[in-house]
Amino acid sequence: MRRLAQSLVATLCLAASPAFADDPYAEYRIPEHRWVSWSAGLTANGHRTLHNSSYGSESVARQGNGTAASSLYGGFDSDRRSRAYGLSLLANGAIQTFDGQNALSYETYLTHSRNESALERASAFYALSRFPWEAPLGFSLSTNAFIAPRQQWASYEEVRQAVPSPFYPAYRQEYLSNRTSGTYDANASLLATVDWGRVRDATPVYRVQVLEQRLHETGTIHGELSAAARERLAALYTVEADLSFAHQRPTKYFWRELERLLTDDGVLGPGGLDAYTVQRLLEPVALETQSFARIRGFSVGPQVVLGKAWMHLSDKSEYRRLTFLADTLYDSTVLVTPRRKLDDHDESISTGLFVEYHRPLGMQWQADAFSRALVSDGAESLTWSTALGAAWAIADRWQWTGNIRHDASAPGKSSERKVDRWQLNVATSLDYFFEDAWAFQVGYQHLQDHSPTDFTRTDTYSLGVSYQFAGWLDAPGLFAPMRLSSASR
Amino acid sequence: MRWQADIAGGFRYGDGPNRQLLASSDLGLTYIVADRWLATGAFTSLTTSYYHEGTRFSPAWVVRASGQLSYFFEDRWSAFVGVDQQQARPQFFFNDTPESPAGFQRQTQVQVGLTYRPAGRFEARGLGVAERVAPGGI
């Protein structure tokens, strides 16, 4: 038994260690980077509508709305440790009023209504991870919190004045109503895991491989990139999206840095990166897929998920109707709904195990597997999810993907537990884009949903083909006539 | 380089026995105060008249004027102010007969937007990248 445990630990260490030294995906490490961004915004709008009718009615509707918001994001990321935080605040106020009058031959109406509302929203998150030792043992924690209170005040007032006639006396009716309400929704969640093994998103390595291929294809670089340049370019692709924390239009800064790295490596010609090359580099790798995720690593460990949600409602309303005959109160109706309060909360705790494995197999293949089983508080139910996926980048702009996912839930305790619901989702697709000629997409999806009372099976097929027979542009004096690229490309 | 003016007008007649008359006019003006700083103004009008059983009805019309000023100072400020005014005399149909009540409808809308970014920083020391929000203000 002891020997079995030792071999199991050794196997897990081997799977989690950065083996296969010639595998660039295995050598990828997350570069150190940090960021902070704080922004604030204010918007306001006002609306006024005046309506005048020859039938004797006139009304004015006014509406005002204002929103103030601010958000703060920051964090640090590296291969050994990371942390990220965010705080977002929003306050919104709105007011609507309506004044109208309608003069008919037998009655006049005077209407006034007013609605006011206020909405506040605050959300925050904090996440951290640590891999403090050489051994692939890590800890991660993430938490989210959200609260959104809302208040509303509404009032309505209408006066009807009857014109005296031989059939009924002059009377006046007054309708008054108002309602106030306050609500809030709040929730908080926490996810904690202990990882044995390490999973990294090595997509930047793949992007550097595609970059190098395309730079060679356009003749922009001479010779191969050095290993150090590839590593720095992968690091730059890793932080590409994070440049937006420092700049609102970050693309130009990214391309400045990328050109600098290529120049430092000595492979870039004196012409630098021309516009044609940059546009070629920006083209997606497949018809639909903007990027091809290249995740690598193995991880297994326990997981705890905590969640809590609160809801509060408080409101009261009042309605009055008064009828006057010759300025004397003739009839009155009063309906008062006293303040009522409703509070509710829900909490959940789940614990379980997860295991995942991701492996890029060369530049063209990617395999992914994931499984997780969670037991709810008091072991009252079990949920289990498993997913398998594979992708094949057949060539530039030609990709196949296949995915299988199974979810099951089993309520009950220990021996009484039995699967009562499960879902199966199988999907596959093939995308092919031959520039200036063919675009082809075929897909299939199979869904099964089993519950104690129902069973549903859905099959979906999709097929799309387009072909461009001719394409031609002639601009004399500007450039030579252009035609569709030849099939040899 | 800074000013752009656009004028368009149209007149149509048709729709069989309705003998519909439709006249429209559009006027647009754009002023580029500076790069990423734009002022625009627009005026449009549309008039429609129908003929029904020997009578040409008084026309329905809608007139709209709007103006906008937008300002974007990269990494720091963005501001937007807009005003939109519309006045209309609508036309209704009862049993396929057009009716134009003597009333009118007028709408006014004002919009204001402002964003400011006091801080923004990104550092990747291994890459020699240290970026901060561009300095400056209005």
Interface-testing mutation among B91, B112, B123, B132, with chain A (most A C-beta atoms within 10 A): B123
- In this structure, are A64 and A168 located in the same domain? yes
Whether B120 sits inside 8 A of A37 (CB atoms) is yes
Is residue A1 pLDDT above 50, yes or no? no
Tokens of A118: 């206020």
Flag if B110 and A40 touch (Cβ within 8 Å): no
Q: What average pLDDT does the segment A468-480 reach?
A: 92
- A39 and A186 belong to one structural domain: yes
A129: its two tokens: 């991870």
Q: Which residue has the higher pLDDT, A299 or A415?
A: A299
Calpha distance B110→A174 (Å, rounded) = 34
Q: What is the pLDDT of residue A10?
A: 45
Q: Do A38 and B109 touch (CB under 8 A)?
A: no
Percent of chain A with pLDDT over 70: 94
Say how far apart CA B51 and CA B17 lie, in whole Å: 7
Measure CA of the first residue to CA of the last residue in chain B; give whole Å. Answer: 23
- Interchain CB contact of A40 with B (< 8 Å): yes
The answer to whether B110 faces chain A, any CB pair under 8 Å, is yes
Asked if the C-beta of B92 comes within 8 angstroms of chain A's C-beta atoms, the answer is no
A269 and A184 in one domain? no
- Contact flag B114-A43 (C-beta cutoff 8 Å): yes
Does A189 lie in the same domain as A87?
yes
Reference A65, options A34, A89, A44; nearest CA is: A44
Q: Residue A15 above 70 pLDDT?
A: no
Q: How many CB pairs under 8 A join A and B?
A: 130
What percentage of chain A carries pLDDT values higher than 90? 76
Q: Which residues of A329-365 are buried (b: 16+ CB within 10 A; e: fewer)?
A: eeeeeeeeeeeeeeeeeeeeebbbebbbbbbbeebee
pLDDT at A267 over 80: yes
Residues A316 and A213 in one domain: no
Is A262 in the B-facing interface, judged by CB distances under 8 Å?
no
Q: Is the domain of A47 the same as that of A180? A: yes
If asked whether residues A218 and A177 sit together in one domain, one would say no
Number of domains in chain A: 3
Better pLDDT: B90 or A149:
A149
Comparing CB atoms, the residue among B74, B105, B124 nearest residue A32 is B124
Q: Which residues contact A391 (CB under 8 A, 6 or more apart)?
A: A292, A293, A365, A366, A399, A400, A401, A402
Which of A51, A242, A248 lies nearest to residue B75, judging by beta carbons? Answer: A248
A406 occurs within a structural domain: yes
Task: Provide mean pLDDT across the span A297-301.
Answer: 97
Looking at the structure, do residues A269 and A398 belong to the same domain, yes or no? no
Distance CA B91, CA A8 (A): 82
Which of A98-107, A141-150, A393-402 has maximum average pLDDT? A141-150
In this structure, what token pair is assigned to residue B98?
């057009």
Residue A56 touches chain B, beta carbons under 8 Å: no
HEC string for A399-445: EEEEEEEEEEEEECCHHHCCCCEEEEEEEEEEEEEECCCEEEEEEEE
Q: Please compute the mean of the pLDDT values over residues A78-85 and round it to a whole number.
A: 95
Does residue A9 belong to any structural domain of this protein?
Answer: no
Encode pLDDT of A365-374 as tens digits.
Answer: 999 999 999 9
Quick one: three-class SS letters along chain B? CCEEEEEEEEEEEECHHHCEEEEEEEEEEEEEEECCEEEEEEEEEEEEECEECCEECCCEEEEEEEEEEEEEECCCEEEEEEEEEEEEECCEEECCEEECCCCEEEEEEEEEEEEEEEEEEEEEHHHCEEEECCCCCC
Asked if residue A225 and residue A162 are part of one domain, the reply reads no
- Flag if A54 and B103 touch (Cβ within 8 Å): yes
pLDDT at A457: 97
Give B-chain residues touching A100 at CB under 8 angstroms: none
- Is there a single domain that holds both residue A476 and residue A330? no
Q: Is the pLDDT of residue A13 over 70?
A: no
Q: Collect all residues of chain B within an 8 Å Cβ-Cβ radius of residue A47.
A: 107-110
Least confidently predicted of A165-169, A462-466, B1-5: A165-169
Q: Tell me, what's the pLDDT at A4?
A: 43
Is the pLDDT reported for residue A301 higher than 80?
Answer: yes
Return mean pLDDT, chain B: 88
CA distance B92 to A433: 53
Q: Which residues are paired to B7 by β-bridges?
A: B27
**Together in a domain, A68 and A187:** yes
Tokens standing for A7?
A: 């071999």
Supply the pLDDT for residue A23: 87
In a domain, A353, yes or no: no
**Beta carbons within 10 angstroms of residue A245's beta carbon:** 24
Give the pLDDT band (50/70/90) at residue B101: low
Distances (CA, A) of B118 to A260, B72, B124, B131, B137: 29, 15, 21, 14, 10
Cross-chain Cβ contact A232/B109 below 8 Å: no
Look at A401-410, B64-73, B106-115, B127-136 and tell me which has the smallest mean pLDDT. B127-136
- Residue at a domain's end among A293, A318, A346: A346
Q: Quickly count: other Cβ atoms within 10 Å of residue A200's Cβ.
A: 20
Q: Is residue A294 part of a domain?
A: no
Q: At A146, give phi and psi (nearest 5°).
A: -150, 135
Task: Please tell me the distance in Å from B57's CA to the nearest CA on chain A.
Answer: 16
Structural tokens at position A82: 């990371």
Same domain for A72 and A220, yes or no, is no
Domain-located, residue A289: no
**Is position A397 within any domain?**
yes
> Contact B111/A245, CB-based, under 8 Å?
no
Interface test with B, best of A248, A259, A261, A262 (most B CBs within 10 A): A248
A487 pLDDT tier (thresholds 50, 70, 90): low
- Judged by a CB distance cut-off of 8 A, whether residue B15 touches chain A is no
CA A351 – CA A173 distance, rounded (Å): 64
Could you give the CA distance from residue A255 to residue A228 in angstroms, rounded to a whole number?
Answer: 18
DSSP state letter for A225 = P
How far apart are alpha carbons B74 and B86 in whole angstroms?
A: 33
Between A36, A49, A235, which is nearest B119 by CB?
A36
Q: How far is B112 from chain A (nearest CA, A)?
A: 5
Of A247, A266, A281, the position where a domain reaches its end is A281
Pinpoint the alpha helices (H) of A148-226: 203-217
Give strand pairing partners of A73: A37, A86
Of the candidates B111, B126, B131, which has its C-beta nearest A246's C-beta?
B131
H-helix or E-strand containing A236? Answer: helix A227-239
- C-alpha span between A114 and A98 (Å, rounded): 7
**ipTM (interface pTM):** 0.82
Residues in chain A: 489
Residue type (1 letter), A408: A
CB contact under 8 A, B74 and A46: no
In this structure, is residue A215 part of a structural domain? Answer: yes
Angle between helices A227-239 and A251-264 (to 10 degrees): 170
Taking the C-alpha atoms of residue A269 and residue A263, their distance in angstroms, rounded to an integer, is: 8
d(CA B78, CA B76): 7
Residue A105 contacts B, CB cutoff 8 Å: no
Tell me, yes or no, if B124 comes closer than 8 A to chain A by beta carbon: yes
Q: What's residue A50's pLDDT?
A: 93
Residues for chain B: how many in total?
138
Within a domain: residue A81? Answer: yes
Are residues A43 and B112, on separate chains, in Cβ contact within 8 Å?
yes
pLDDT band of A288, cuts 50, 70, 90: low
Q: What is the largest CA-CA distance in chain B?
A: 85
Domain hosting A469: range is 363-483
Using pLDDT thresholds of 50, 70 and 90, give the confidence band for residue B112: very high
Q: Is A28:A20 a contact under the CB 8 Å cutoff?
A: no
Tell me the nearest-neighbour CA distance from B20 into chain A, angstroms.
24
pLDDT-derived band at A16, boundaries 50, 70, 90: very low
Of residues A361 and A435, more confidently modeled: A361
Substitution target from B66, B73, B112, B131 for chain A, most A beta carbons within 10 A: B131
Inform me whether the C-beta atom of residue B135 falls under 8 Å from chain A C-beta atoms. Answer: no
